[in-house]
Amino acid sequence: MNQFGNGKLYVLGEFDALAAVEVGYMTFQDGCIRSMRLSNETKAKLKYDRQILAISKVAGVSAIYSDDGKLCRKAAQNGIKAFGVHELPPRPPEKQGALDLRVSD
């Protein structure tokens, strides 16, 4: 994970004790066994999504970006704005200087 570091607009969060407590609370709120059986998601995906949300909540993030619709809906239910990656604004075009195309003798 160190290879990604932290950027100006993002911080890599850690799954620490506070995040673990948050996952436990979410699991309790969701009715762990019932939600796993009613969903076509694997247990691993459900746990992973909860970890992402717990880390986000503990870190106090304002938004997450994901193409996973279920994760985005769950984020919204937990008070976190969620956007699809396709909703990111396009990168501004790079400024290019004028080229000197005169032929030199």
pLDDT in tens, 9-41: 667 788 899 999 999 988 887 765 555 455 677
DSSP 15: -
Reported pTM = 0.68
Whole-number Å distance between alpha carbons of 103 and 66: 51
Grouping H, G, I as helix, E, B as strand and the rest as coil, residue 35 is helix
| Model confidence band, residue 1 (pLDDT cutoffs 50, 70, 90) | very low
Grouping H, G, I as helix, E, B as strand and the rest as coil, residue 61 is coil
The angle formed by the CA atoms of residues 77, 79 and 84, to the nearest 5 degrees, is 75
Beta bridge partners of 103: none
DSSP 67: S
